[in-house]
Amino acid sequence: MKLKEYLKTKWLLILLFHLMILLLILLQLALKAPIELIIASSFIIFCFSFIFFLYDYLPKHFFYQTFLSQLEKLDQKYLVTETIKTPNFYEGKILVDALYEINKSMLERIQTSESNMLDFKEYIELWIHEVKLPLATLTLMVHNNKSHYDNKVKEQLKRLDNYLEQVLYYVRSENAEVDYLIKNCSLKKIISNVALKNKDSLLEQKIELIVSDIDHFILTDSKWLEFILNQIIDNSMKYKKKENAYIKIASKEDEDNIYLIIYDNGIGISKADLPRVFEKSFTGKNGRSGTKSTGMGLYIVKKLCRKLGHKIEIKSEEGKCTVVTLTFAKDRYYDVLK
């Protein structure tokens, strides 16, 4: 609290104080009191009043200065009540008590909201797993009776399965740390699983998958990385060229990192859209024309990469190609164990 601001709040009291001294001087003059007595009494009253104002101002000044300083330092502002002491003046005590009650009410409200959100997420996960069972049955029926079903049916079932996975991993991504396990995983095995899952779609769309130099072990969660790669491959298939389409997957390494590079010769991404591809619900030019898109796939991919400690980068040239690079940091601990 600045002195200037404090005095502004006490202007009426200061005015009354000056009027009191003036009336006292006039009264003493009317009673013909010695001039020395008038000066002495006025000075004494002024000194006591000054001490009173100082006693009132200083505790407030130090309390509010400390309060504002602590508030500025904290990232979580609501914790300020835990960093300040209860002041010895009445207004400060009211403020601190009120802040404690407000903080308590807010935390209770947040706890209730988080509990409701957790229940909802658990229900969504359960619902997705329940829906996946009949979906898997339908997919199996289509595979076993190919002559009775058009390829478009299989394609729509795959799209449905992909959207369900997006929802599942989006829900889990909020608390990914409780669901993933970082360990040394075979990159070759992960890519084999991804290729196997997308085998039918690649064959039907006549897309050649070229894989080379992937004999590496990386620190990741295989399940999460498979989802990430599935989303990238799905985008490559979705925005492929009409003829001679292919996807190349290769890796390289340096002293600190292993890089997984996924290249496709599809329709590419425009320069205007490229900086925004990881934004939530951003569909861009490609998503609005031709194949419809939710704009959630790459957003979830980026989120999961950040949780896993991986880096993802996309480069593209419209009408020519798109290159996605995943960067995995090495850990010398595993080299020592070997």
* pLDDT score for 290: 60
DSSP labels, 98-159: HHHHHHHHHHHHHHHHHHHHHHHHHHHHHHHHHHHHHHHHHHHHHHHTTTTS-HHHHHHHHH
Q: What predicted TM-score, i.e. pTM, was given to this entire model?
A: 0.67
Q: Give the pLDDT confidence score for residue 333 in this predicted structure.
A: 45
Query: From the CB of residue 276, how many other CB atoms can be counted at a distance below 10 Å?
Result: 13
Which of 225, 224, 195, 189 lies closest to 209, judged by CA? 195
The tokens describing 164, both together, are 């369900």
Residue 195 identity: A
Q: State the chain's mean pLDDT as an integer.
A: 84
Give the Cα separation of 9 and 30 in Å (integer).
34
**pLDDT tens-digit series, residues 13-63:** 777 877 887 887 788 778 777 888 778 887 887 888 788 788 877 888 888
What band does 262 get if pLDDT is binned at 50, 70 and 90? very high
In the chain, domain spans: 3-85, 183-337
Q: What does the DSSP 8-state code read for residue 198?
A: T
Name, in order, each residue with C-beta under 8 angstroms of 302's C-beta and a sequence gap of 6 or more: 278, 312
Report the pLDDT value the prediction gives residue 325, as an integer from 0 to 100: 96
Which is more confidently placed, 23 or 333? 23
Which of 208, 211, 312, 199 minimizes the C-alpha distance to 265? 208
Share of residues in the chain with pLDDT > 90 (%): 28
- In CATH, the architecture of 183-337 is 2-Layer Sandwich (3.30)
Q: pLDDT tens across 213-234, in order? A: 999 999 999 999 999 999 999 9
The CA distance from 308 to 220, in Å, is 7
Q: Please give the pLDDT value at position 96.
A: 86
Q: For the CA atoms of the chain, what is the radius of gyration?
A: 35
Q: Which token pair is 203?
A: 């064959």
Does position 66 have pLDDT exceeding 90, yes or no? no
The mean pLDDT of 171-178, rounded to a whole number, is 69
Torsion of CA 97, 99, 104, 106, to 10 degrees: 160
Is 60 exceeded by the pLDDT of residue 125?
yes
Report the Cα–Cα distance between both ends of the chain, in Å, rounded.
63
Give the E-state strand segments of the chain in sequence order: 183-186, 208-212, 217-220, 246-253, 257-264, 311-317, 321-329
Report d(CA 254, CA 258) in Å as an integer: 7
Q: How would you write 210-272 as a 3-class SS string? A: EEECCCCEEEECHHHHHHHHHHHHHHHHHCCCCCCCEEEEEEEECCCEEEEEEEECCCCCCCC
